Structure 1
Amino acid sequence: MTDSNKMFSLAGKVALVTGSSRGLGRALALGLANAGAKVVCSSSKANGCDETIKLIEQAGGEAIQVAADLNDSDSVKALAEAALAWQGQVDILLNNGGTIARFPAVDFPEDEWLKVINVNLNSAFLLSRLIGKSMIERGQGKIINIASMLSYSGGITVPAYTASKHGIAGVTKALANEWAINNIQVNAIAPGYFRTDNTQALQDNPERNRDIEKRIPAGQWGEPDQLVGAAVFLASSASDYVNGHVLAVDGGWLAR
């Protein structure tokens, strides 16, 4: 008989979570820690993950933080090296760090386009390549990319973000195709509308908030903690035969 508690346990595992200073990233880092993982927390600012580290340690977990600018490839490489050096391995890579820029396509600044693509897509691929190499050598690993509802649709005035999140879905499948034979599972989570400071402007707009809630079959926004179960599943042995999948956690948004 399979021990379900053991199946979802991350005890003895080391996870790297980018963009874990707040919002969904903080909830995900804490969730992996609560499942037993030791966590490397990363954000763009020095000491940006102080609160996340504090919450993990208060819950009895173990974590460190490494500042990294995901727009800079050298900084991303240094992050991978620091994460691997801490415990000698990274078992779970959760590429959550991201940014967005809003401009009409005809006026979209080239520097903003490049920044969004670098932060959201290029850094995820580079970290996956660098840490994936060590996973291949060890014959095991879990990579979880954070996709988006805009991995499925086009959005308005966010062409770079949409391109990056379509790219995340594609890279997830491409890496799964190559690395499944090495016992590495590469999947993605596509969050729907969650209550974070990034979505506060939408929540505060009565018309947009009403339209969003009307579209969601669950009838309400998601809370960050509601993303944790999907992440723990994809990070644990429970998902050992799940590969190249984009898991929507959206309260039914796509079904409507």
Structure 2
Amino acid sequence: MTRTIQQLFDLQGKTALVTGGSRGLGLQMAHALGEAGARIMLSSRKAADLEEATAELQAAGIDARWIAADCAKEADIERLGRETLERMGDIDILVNNAGATWGAPAEDHPLDAWDKVMNLNVRGYFLLSQYVAKHSMIARKRGSILNVASIAGLGGNPVGMQTIAYNTSKGAVINFTRALAGEWGRYGIRVNAICPGFFPSKMTKGLLQALGEDKLRAHAPLNRLGDDEDLKGLSVLLASDAGKHITGQYVAVDGGVSALVGG
């Protein structure tokens, strides 16, 4: 029997682990998955931020919990995966969102800052995906991994950003997504990437000030920045059976910026 659209998008009975989930895009995606019925495990480095974010989700009627962990550290990643499985059972949805950036001209970019960005934005995604797949998804022949990339991984250097390590890492995330989807499709694991454009957040505050929010709005065909709803629909599509035939894809959510030549 063919399911209805409501049934296809329903995440009741599913468990989602969301890294970088205490604020910004990660918290928005956690809201979306929770509103669709999933149980949520949030993770970020700071317990106080996680407590506040979890309380916000719970106030919205979402079953949410938290674990503090640094996804740049292998030991923390293993602990995060293990404790999530112990406390919530199998992981159906993994959102790799924890990330870092660094602003500096390429010729002066510090090596330790390069390593910091790469360790969290690329190595951390790989290690957590590997752990969750090996300990939960592969044996059950199902799962959905959502990697948060960026339009900075599509266009090289949109609107004059001086964030060479970040841009490089997000380009790597896109090809990591495609390669992993090709390899893990035989296990029923879908792997997709979301490429946000400019969204106001704590991480982007300095960049938006430097580049000018009005300038960035004017550069987008829709003449706007992203808001607190703009990732919700795509997140649920890619996490749910509504997207069960979608894997290895990357989708820009950017108001049309990446559609422009040289965008």
Structure 2 length-normalised TM? 0.93
1:139 alignment counterpart: 141
Q: Which residue of 2 aligns with 1:250?
A: 254
Correspondence for 2:244: 240
Q: Name 2:176's counterpart in structure 1.
A: 171
Q: Does 1:185 align with 2:200?
A: no
Instruction: Report the identity percentage.
Output: 39
Aligned residues: 255
In structure 1, stretches of 5+ residues that fail to align are none
Cα deviation, 1:133-180, whole Å, max 9, x if unaligned, reads 220101100000001011112224211111110110011011100111
Q: Distance in 2 between matches of 1:33 and 1:3?
A: 20
Shift of 1:195: 2.2
Q: Contact between 1:43 and 1:97, CA under 8 Å: does it hold in 2?
A: yes
**CA-CA distance at 1:200 after TM superposition:** 2.7
Name the SS of the counterpart of 2:113 in structure 1.
helix
Q: Which moved more, 1:137-146 or 1:155-164?
A: 155-164
**Corresponding letter in the other structure for 1:163:** T
Structure 1 CA distance for aligned equivalents of residues 106 and 259 of structure 2: 28
**Cα offset for 1:211?**
2.1
Whether the 8 Å CA contact 1:70–1:76 is kept in 2: the answer is yes
Q: CA deviation at 1:105?
A: 1.6
- Alpha-carbon distance in 1 for matches of 2:200, 2:166: 19
Aligned partners of 2:71 and 2:207: how far apart in 1? 26
CA deviation map 1:170-209 (0-9, x unaligned): 110111001111111100000011122333335445x622
SS at match of 2:40: strand
Structure 2 counterpart of 1:32, one-letter code: L
In the alignment, structure 2 segments of 5+ residues that lack a partner are none
In the TM superposition, 1:118-137 aligns within 5 A as 118-133=119-134, 134-137=136-139
Cα distance, 1:2 vs structure 2: 2.8
Q: Which amino acid aligns with 1:164?
A: S
Q: Deviations over 1:38-57 (max 9, x none)?
A: 01100111232112211211
Choose the corresponding residue for 1:231, options 204, 214, 235. 235
Distance 1:168 1:139 in 2: 23
How far the C-alpha of 1:59 sits from its partner, in A, is 1.5
Q: How does 1:1-256 map to 2 (within 5 A)?
A: 1-133=2-134, 134-155=136-157, 156-204=161-209, 208-256=212-260
Secondary structure (helix, strand or coil) at the match of 2:47 reads coil
CA contact (8 A) 2:155 2:258 kept: no
Q: Secondary structure at the match of 2:230?
A: helix
